[in-house]
Amino acid sequence: MTVQDKTTGPLTTEAGAPVADNQQSQTAGPGGPTLIQDQLLLEKLAHFNRERIPERIVHARGAGAYGTFTVTADVTRYTRAKFLSEVGKQTETFLRFSTVAGNLGAPDAVRDPRGFALKFYTEEGNYDLVGNNTPVFFIRDAIKFPDFIHTQKRDPYTGSQEADNVWDFWGLSPESTHQVTWLLGDRGIPASYRHMNGYGSHTFQWNNADGEVFWVKYHFKTDQGIKCLTNEEAELLAGKDPDSHQRDLRESIERGDYPSWTVQVQIMPAADAPNYRFNPFDLTKVWPHDDYPPIEIGRLELNRNPENIFAEVEQSIFSPHHFVPGIGPSPDKMLQGRLFAYGDAHRYRVGINGDHLPVNRPHATTANTHGRDGVMYDGRHGGAKNYEPNSFDEAKETGEPLWEPVAVSGVTGDHVTPSHAEDDDFVQAGNLYRLMPEDAKQRLIDTAAGFIAKVSRDDIAQRAIENFRKADEDYGKRLEAAVQALRG
């Protein structure tokens, strides 16, 4: 057996078959949902989920709390979800915050996106909204996710995160320019979990009692106000108190200072999507508020700490495929991949019966399945039958889908998503830069330049700078000058 130092020849699957397309997952026609026949996608995601044991590969470092969601506006014209059915209705929730790249022992006060994973314990089953504190993401197709996270984690040779890997991938993935601008700006290091917004990030489907379809985006606006740390403040805090954000959340709830968020949604009629100026299912873009103004629908409050961090925070599981009637997925290719990957990760990490644990099981109804046995099975079903159809019990299918079907057309294959009039990787990054006041622009330039200056190869640095120049000429020009000054 020999150790490979470099990969030569064509990219292949684990079985050795050559890979035709490693950039686009297969869909049912252009713009359609992702196909399960795409074995490269499934192989990459399944392999990625099993690369570490037992902590989460991403979002390992986290904190959580229970709370209450209260409906404040009538949205029944948009969705038939029962937990949203009347003003004043309350639903128990569990929210897990996390950093993305760090391991279980990493400090909280670092420049990194934050996970914002929310579980609603509804009477129709658990609804999981697994988002971030950013409205966009680095990539738009799940087939690139394992590669992206590999660049953020430890290099296989050095054992450290390497600027070369990070900027090589970002430079070769121009769709990341918007999120990178967000991450390296002033909001890249929240002062606490309480002082940041949360977002569903993806586009989701709402459907009402008449079968009408709407596309929605979720926004959770912190009622505590946005507060962030500078690079210098974060370095000091991370060294002095690695548990700063977890401690702040726990202590605020202990003293009765319950953090809360105003919940808003943007709503797009389904008929608008095909001709919207850019792809409304592209995770690297936001919907401008002038096009679809956010409307308030509720309030989220956190008011109870977990009793045991391992049992309730580390073993909590969230999956974007946990929908309830009236809510469903969209053709967003990142979301489509996550529908598989999250459940698969938790079945591997926590176990096939992880959903039996108190934090994960439904609280307002009862799960009624024919799944049996496996690790941690508690025998809850007794001698009941474990198949369907059967003539012995009442666990029957309803014949009522949770969401409405989406029309698809064309042939299967590795399709590039159809272009809309403004499908551009740089427009929104440039808009974000131009919205910043001058002092915020300078801090962004300083942070980005300090990171890019660590790159060992000039071509990697220059390619990264050119992406920012395409977003805004001033952005690229100032960044290039700052990097040159640092690199001498």
Q: Which tokens hold the place of 400?
A: 């009522």
Concerning whether 59 is annotated as a catalytic residue, the answer is yes
- Of 22, 47, 49, 59, catalytic: 59
Q: How far is the C-alpha of 412 from the C-alpha of 265, rounded, in Å?
A: 33
Q: Which residue has the tokens 């003293």?
A: 255
Q: How far is the C-alpha of 418 from the C-alpha of 412, rounded, in Å?
A: 14
Cβ atoms 223, 261 nearer than 8 A: yes
Q: How far is the C-alpha of 204 from the C-alpha of 128, rounded, in Å?
A: 12
- Of 49, 132, 207, 360, catalytic: 132
Q: Which residue has the tokens 């993935």?
A: 173
| C-alpha closest to that of 327 among 80, 70, 69, 90 | 80
Give the phi and the psi of residue 110 in degrees, each rounded to 5. Answer: -130, 160
Q: Where are the beta strands (DSSP E) in 176-233?
A: 198-199, 204-207, 213-222
Element housing 90 (H / E): strand 90-99
Instruction: Tell me the CA distances in angstroms from 396 to 53, 169, 266, 369, 371, one per residue in order.
Output: 37, 48, 35, 10, 14
Q: Which tokens hold the place of 357?
A: 């644990």
Q: How far is the C-alpha of 252 from the C-alpha of 259, rounded, in Å?
A: 8
Q: Helix, strand, coil % (nearest 5) of the chain?
A: 30, 15, 50
What separation, in Å, do the N-terminal and C-terminal C-alpha atoms of the chain show? Answer: 45
The helix/strand/coil state of 200 is: coil
Contacts for 108 with CB less than 8 Å, ≥ 6 apart: 61, 99, 238, 242, 243, 244, 245, 246
Give the residue numbers annotated as catalytic, written as ranges. 59, 132
